[in-house]
Structure 1
Amino acid sequence: MTSETMPLTTLHTLDEVTDWVRRQQHLYVRWSLGPEKDLHETSSRDELTGVPLPGLSVSSLDVEPWWEDRPMRIWVARRLYDYCHLPRHRGDGVRPWLLRGRESGRGPDNEPLVDDIVPLAWIAPAVIEEAVKEVDNQPGPWGPVERDS
């Protein structure tokens, strides 16, 4: 079975992703070829040194307390937007998917590393397009986390 055929639901709107975040904690997004490939070896590698890490690199979708009563939709849009450059940098087939996991450490960029992974859903490209529009409509400019090569 390939990541394209793994039987996961697909979330098609930003509101669907936001509803998941509203209902559950310990949700993360991972940009990769998918759980089928990632779960063979649940360890990312530090790109600079090649050192294996104690879990997969992910972005947390959990809302931080300092966000208070601000719109959760904007929180989720921002979290998805921050790494939307990864498909361009990592190649064909890289796409976001939603998972639940347990933090097992921090990576070299202070990103969460998770194990005990439960794949939950693919995140459709339309969701990322919505997230970009949501971010673009905010009063302050910011861009995705991107490093020059």
Structure 2
Amino acid sequence: MDQADRDPSGEMPTVGSLDELVGLLASGPGLYVRWSLGPHADLPGPSSRDDLTGAQLPGLSASPLDAEPWWGDRPLRIWAARRLHDYSHLPRRKDRRVRPWLLRGREAGRGPDNEPLVHRVEPVGWIDPRVVAEADAEITRQSRPWGPLDRHG
């Protein structure tokens, strides 16, 4: 990430391309993506709530970015694109200010959708909206594209 390429509040660097994100994934395990208003909103009480029941969860809901062993030698670019694309509907469904950001942390459990709940969170960087657009384009180019995980269609 280019330290000069920062979010408007100056809090974190910003990942500016899908290739840059792939480079981060290739550099080591343990990255997650979270779609929210950002660390400033999430970290004061670092836990999520179940939307259905309102239950307080023991960490922040996040999607792991590490490729699974079964992914084999398939392109990491497609893996990263899918991980972003799967939840790209959240700004439309929850709040237009919701955006993806990268973090490192420890899993504290699983949420109601079997997603990791991460605590001891260390913010890494924002993901620029252009990266999400790149991810969407990458998925569309696949022979069997799929839509995001949007329960409300």
**Class of the TM-score when normalised by the shorter of the 2 chains:** over 0.9
Q: What is aligned with 1:23?
A: 27
Q: What is aligned with 1:97?
A: 101
Q: What is aligned with 2:16?
A: 12
Q: Give the alignment of 1:1-149 within 5 angstroms.
A: 4-148=8-152
Say what the alpha-carbon RMSD is for the aligned residues: 1.3
Cα displacement (A) at 1:7:
2.0
- Look up the SS of the partner of 1:146 in the other structure: coil
Number of aligned residue pairs: give it. 147
Cα displacement (A) at 1:6:
4.5
Deviation per residue, 1:8-55 (Å, 9 max, x gap):
101110001111111121100000000011001101001110000000
- Look up the SS of the partner of 1:148 in the other structure: coil
Q: How many angstroms apart in 2 are the aligned matches of 1:137 and 1:26? A: 28
Gaps of 5+ in 2: 1-6
Between the aligned residues of both structures, percent identity stands at 57
Moved over 2 A (4+): none
Cα displacement (A) at 1:141:
2.6
Q: How many angstroms apart in 2 are the aligned matches of 1:84 and 1:6? A: 24
Larger mean Cα displacement after TM superposition, 44-53 or 5-14: 5-14
Q: How many angstroms apart in 2 are the aligned matches of 1:29 and 1:146? A: 17
